[in-house]
Chain A
């Protein structure tokens, strides 16, 4: 296998972008990535997107994006794994470069959620349609079930959940691409409108539009281009039982743990070697469970660890320096690639006020549904 490098990236602002279409968002992010990488051709495209069919009535978006980017007839396809569609697109792109089949490819993600669709219904299609969604459970509802069980078993508190949102909003306030560039307080999070008890609207990532793209090439080609090269040193993906109720332990996100273990093994690094992580905080409880599964903290200790500030920008392991899904926004298919964009900016030293000092190794973790699929990547500046 060839070694793989990220040589360019770009993203749109995330938010309620009522004047922008699905295709415009993707092409804007793609052009930024192409300009950043300074490449003059692409061999293929992978587009991560969860459900453009339900959100805007458009399928077949691989071909659509190749067309509107003006690069047809190169191969292009959409990749779907619910909320980790973007991360999975990156992983497929990794293998296409690693195999030697292609030299320069574009991997991206896009979602246009604000266009009048029933968003709660569309997101719930990532759950078991016949045995979860049929009974009226929603995505906030599934994570609320996880939260209640985590609180019951480990003593995680309402305040500790809120600490995740407060920290991510503090980071997002420093990110010009974030949907919400403002801080929130613990009291605001706890007293906000309930969505699914005990989770409030401020425990939840927003409904967002946006796109993010990255350009991948082989390490050898990247070195010839004499650019700061970000090497992809680990990739791991895994699945779990789809319906939350079918898992033996509903507080465990096994796919996250297995995908991380595979990525750590391939990269030859341990959790303590990671300088920053962009992880899937679709709800506050998700970040607490994920930092436990990634091995940053022992199982059950994610709440106190967060409350004590260890995941803050100046903490032991800065988590979601971009603002995370909570504050930066969560256009589902774009999220996995936007995580890559943040890690690349951090490793290049371009993250301005959000910059983590001496960041050399970064991790991204992106998951689908209530955690039935997960993909982890580890990047290092070469």
Chain B
């Protein structure tokens, strides 16, 4: 991944920063230039709650090359307590420990390395609480 592309997403990947619509209150994550709910273009910054719940989940057993070393790994759609859904790994647990509705918290982790000379990619994952 070219480093400008990586750097642009840092506020979201490192700090869970979204944009909250000043008109309807909906949080866009990542930020958008126009609110998908009401069409407003006025936003403030809002952080995702650091806890949430599992909406759905799976265990990946065939992965793209960047993730091949990690298989099997769990992926879920997680809804933060302030109502924003994201896709994230669920780590430090077995696949059978995960259920729809279970509570999780966001943690900061390494996601993958781009070979021997590329950048190390960080971001959010989740753990069961």
Residue A152, interface by CB 8 Å: yes
**Residue among A132, A146, A197, A199 with most chain B CB within 10 A:** A197
Q: With A131-B30, A149-B100 in contact, is A196–B60 under 8 Å at CB? A: yes
Check B55 for interface membership: any CB of A closer than 8 A: yes
Whether a CB of chain A sits under 8 angstroms from the CB of B47 is no
The docked-state distance in angstroms from the alpha carbon of A88 to that of B56 is 31
In the complex, residue of chain A having the shortest beta-carbon distance to the beta carbon of B57: A148
Is A137 positioned at the interface, with any CB of B under 8 Å from its CB? yes
B contacts with A: majority SS: strand
Residues of chain A having any CB pair with chain B under 8 Å: 118, 120-121, 124, 130-138, 140-141, 144-146, 148-149, 152, 193-199, 241, 243-246, 250
- The reply to whether A136 and B56 contact each other, CB–CB distance below 8 Å, is no
A144, B55: Cβ atoms closer than 8 Å: no
- Residue contact A135 to B58, C-beta cutoff 8 Å: no
Q: In the assembled complex, which residues on chain A have CB atoms less than 8 Å from the CB atom of B43?
A: none
Does B64 belong to the interface (CB within 8 Å)? yes
21 contacts between A and B (CB under 8 A): A121-B65, A130-B9, A134-B9, A134-B111, A134-B123, A135-B88, A136-B60, A136-B73, A136-B89, A137-B60, A138-B62, A140-B60, A141-B60, A141-B75, A145-B77, A152-B56, A193-B61, A196-B58, A198-B58, A241-B36, A245-B55
Q: Which residue of B lies closest to A140 (CB)?
A: B62
* Contact (Cβ within 8 A) B100 A132: no
CB distance from A334 to the nearest CB of B (A): 23
Contact flag A245-B85 (CB < 8 Å), given A136-B70, A145-B58, A197-B95: yes
Tell yes or no: B87 within 8 A of A by CB.
yes
Q: Chain A nearest CB: distance from B39 CB in Å? A: 15
- Residues from chain B with a CB closer than 8 A to the CB of A124 are 64
Residues of chain B lying within 8 A (CB to CB) of residue A145: 56-58, 75-77
Q: Flag if B62 contacts A196 (CB, 8 Å).
A: yes
Which A residues are in CB contact (< 8 Å) with B86?
131, 245
Partner of A243, one of B59, B60, B76, B87: B87
Known: A196-B60, A250-B56. 4 other contacts (CB 8 A): A118-B64, A135-B89, A241-B36, A244-B77
In the complex, per-residue mask of B64-100: 1 if CB is within 8 Å of any chain A CB, else 0: 1111001001011100000001111100000100001
Q: Note all chain A residues with C-beta closer than 8 A to B57.
A: 145, 148
CB distance from A291 to the nearest CB of B (A): 21
Residues of B within 8 A of A (CB): 9, 12-13, 30, 36, 55-67, 70, 73, 75-77, 85-89, 95, 100, 111-112, 121, 123, 125
| Minimal Cβ-Cβ distance residue in A for B89 | A135
Docked pose: A118 CA to B88 CA in angstroms:
22
Shortest CB–CB separation between residue A164 and chain B, in angstroms? Answer: 18
Pairwise interchain contact A148-B64, C-beta atoms closer than 8 A: no
Cβ–Cβ < 8 Å partners of A137 in chain B: 60, 75, 87
Query: In the assembled complex, which residues on chain A have CB atoms less than 8 Å from the CB atom of B85?
Result: 245-246
Could you say which of B62, B70, B112 contacts A120, with CB atoms under 8 Å apart?
Answer: B62
Q: Return B78 CB to nearest CB of chain A, in Å.
A: 8
Q: How far apart sit A136 and B58, CA to CA, in the bound complex (Å)? A: 12
For B30, list chain A residues within 8 Å (CB): 130-131
Report whether A250 and B73 are in contact in the complex, using a CB–CB cutoff of 8 Å. Answer: no
What's the least CB distance linking B40 to chain A, in Å? 17
**CA–CA, A152 and B58, complex, Å:** 13
Residue in B12, B59, B66, B77 whose beta carbon sits within 8 Å of that of A250 in the complex: B77
